[in-house]
A and B are shown apart, each in its own frame.
Chain A
């Protein structure tokens, strides 16, 4: 199997879906001739033309709204928001429109669309190129939310998202776009939306993470295994909504301890809901406090690298949190 970067896996997914289904089209800022500012759509404009890889006006609200309209009219749009930080002009269209259509029409209309957005910090992006926005959208029933942590899942989940009859948001860890490499098979495959995955077996405690934090968590798990003999189980959430509660709960029932890692602000972040579910539905298995390692509750990820690094969870910080919890 060839090894590719995470962003190349995403590009392949879009290429294959454009090839497979002529209802699929891409729109967003700079997605055409430029191939996207991160180069996620590079080559697709040349291959499929300006009618299927459409450079949008610089207006996020309508990138999403045009996608919703096209989806209602039978198309399968992939809408790119250049940075997750800029998705908020489209917030109303996503949470009041796309998310609600199926419910509010009693199932007559559905909105089969994909919204892709690079998210996350650690790239020197400052307050407005570093945000993690998943919690805002995870709160809105009707949306599906996936966050891949490796090229195999990135390709498989994005392809599944294109084929899903619901609005699916794909948040992509942009720090990992070229950093994270992995094998992707030559043959056709998808990764089902709605399944988390145990990516490392262990008995001492469970670490839950997604996206870039999952990548760091695997590194941290190796560090504590070698240095401290602690065997972590690691669960890659992958699909935030709908949550695979079975996989999440089963691991906790085995280890009795949970560390939840996310790079969003700690307060009311996605990990807060995971903690609530574990304490509610697996209370009798609990063998220690349910811990969260997350960004501090400040308005954003600062630009200067000293402050940025202070904000961001890292393999070392995760390893430290694992040791503390293991010792509890």
Chain B
């Protein structure tokens, strides 16, 4: 059993000064992402969609991080598990459903890419691909652009811990360190790269331990604690905006579901381990915290769940009713015309 993480059942709200409204928005965003994700698994099991890669378990760190950004201003170069992250930045459940069904009007790629390849210029979401870690040195380029222009925009790039074995990760953070770029590299460490556990991925106990080799700050945070995650990213943002350079933030979390709809995680980890981790689930913990604080009530939970269910239902219905893209769309667009220069 892989137990290199010690996360508590508590929420660490030290120094957090957020309005009730914001705390409730965080909770709603987490619940919404979870229910949308769960529905997608159901659609796959019903044979209605071909593929799903899930973000379940990661909602704490993703919502915390996304809420800390200046949304629509900062650049976010995300990876495939970042459904909750993208939703906070403005991606909609309807767009998600168009994506998983591969329907016309899907906004990130016109249904050319598999789901979970985020891209939205207005929301500052950079275009994602499937090869892992390629986004890290690209993010250094984005942060370099901001630095050259003298903006205080920060680029946040995310990836899993397995992806940190790629050379792209090292080259990207090396650039970020050399040029003190306004960049945050957020590693969502869920201990498994598909089936390969962390100890076969690296010889250090924490991804963030590598930060000194780039001459940058390294931070470990409990990724199942939305407020601790928010605070870690907020501090990294302040460092980056004030010229203090990049931060490598490692969020310890867990993926209680298979890697994707094509994976069977029973082949590489015990049910006991998964159940143990479910007790530390980010949503449950935050819910308990908000109930204890009197910010949330049973009635409010019911209302939020109802609202989310309605939105997910509507999103699914809209996507099911939408047409598939015309086959000839496969032929374009290959080259940008000159006027986009």
Residues of A within 8 A of B (CB): 25, 51-52, 56-57, 59, 61-62, 65-75, 77, 89, 92-93, 96-97, 100-110, 112, 141-142, 144, 163-166, 242
Question: How far does the Cβ of B125 sit from chain A's closest Cβ, in whole Å?
Answer: 10
* Of A71, A104, A242, most B-chain CB atoms within 10 Å: A104
B227 to chain A, nearest CB (A): 30
Complex-state Cα separation, A90 to B49, whole angstroms: 35
Cα distance A73–B143 in the bound complex, in angstroms? 8
Q: Are B121 and A109 in contact (CB under 8 A)?
A: yes
Q: Are B144 and A70 in contact (CB under 8 A)?
A: yes
**Structural contact, B341 and A65, CB atoms closer than 8 A:** no
* CB–CB A65/B109 < 8 A: no
Complexed CA–CA distance, A138 and B88 (Å): 40
CB 8 Å contact bits of B164-196 with A (1 = contact, 0 = none): 000110011011001000000000000000000
List chain B residues, Cβ under 8 A from A141.
334
> Could you tell me the distance between the alpha carbons of A144 and B117 in the complex, rounded to whole angstroms?
25
- Chain B residues with Cβ under 8 A from A101's Cβ? 127
25 A-B interface contacts by CB (under 8 A): A59-B171, A61-B167, A62-B171, A62-B175, A65-B134, A65-B168, A66-B141, A69-B145, A70-B145, A72-B141, A74-B145, A75-B141, A77-B141, A101-B127, A102-B336, A104-B112, A104-B113, A104-B117, A108-B120, A109-B121, A109-B127, A110-B340, A142-B334, A164-B341, A165-B338
Q: A164 to B255: give the CA distance in the assembly, Å.
A: 43
Interface pairs A-B: 5 shortest CB-CB = A69-B141, A65-B137, A106-B110, A69-B138, A73-B145
B334 near A68 with CB under 8 A, answer: no
Partner of B129, one of A62, A96, A144: A96
Q: Which residue of A lies closest to B134 (CB)?
A: A97
Q: Which residues does B use to contact A, with CB under 8 Å?
A: 75, 77, 108-110, 112-113, 117, 119-121, 126-127, 129, 131, 134, 136-146, 148, 155, 167-168, 171-172, 174-175, 178, 332-338, 340-341
Residue pair B137, A73 in contact (C-beta under 8 Å): no
Known: A66-B141, A92-B131. Contact between A57 and B340, CB under 8 A?
Answer: no
Partner of B142, one of A70, A89, A96: A70
**Residue of B108, B136, B146, B338 touching A164 (CB-CB under 8 A):** B338
B168 x A61 contact (CB < 8 A)? yes
- Asked whether A75 lies within 8 Å of B138 as measured between CB atoms, the reply is no
Which single residue of chain A is at the shortest CB-CB distance from B137? A65
Contact A72 B127 (CB under 8 A): yes
Residue among A51, A68, A75, A106 making CB contact with B333, cutoff 8 Å: A106
* Nearest-Cβ distance from residue B156 to partner chain A, whole angstroms: 13
Q: Bound complex: CA of A35 vs CA of B144, how far in Å?
A: 21
- Given contact pairs A104-B119, A106-B108, A166-B335, enumerate 9 new A-B contacts (beta carbons under 8 Å): A72-B126, A96-B129, A97-B131, A109-B121, A112-B336, A141-B334, A142-B335, A164-B341, A242-B335
Q: Which residues of A contact B332 (CB under 8 A)?
A: 103
Chain B residue at minimal CB-CB distance from A192 = B338
In the bound complex, residues from chain A placing their C-beta under 8 Å from that of B337 are 165
**A61-B171, A164-B341, A165-B337 in contact; A66/B127 too (CB < 8 A)?**
no
Once bound together, how far apart are the Cα atoms of A110 and B138, in whole Å?
14
- In the assembled complex, the CB of A248 is this many whole angstroms from the nearest CB of chain B, namely 19
Choose from A51, A73, A108 the contact partner of B141 (Cβ within 8 Å).
Answer: A73
In the bound complex, how far is the Cα of B332 from the Cα of A246, in angstroms? 22
A49 to chain B minimum Cβ distance, whole angstroms, is 11
Q: Say yes or no: B144 contacts A104, CB within 8 Å.
A: no
- A66, B138: Cβ atoms under 8 Å? yes
Are the CB atoms of A62 and B145 closer together than 8 Å?
A: no
Q: What is the CA–CA distance of A107 and B120 in the complex, to the nearest angstrom?
A: 11
A141 to B, closest residue via Cβ: B334
Whether A61 contacts B137 by the Cβ 8 Å rule is: yes
The CA of A60 and the CA of B168, in the complex, are separated in Å by: 10
A103 near B333 with CB under 8 A, answer yes
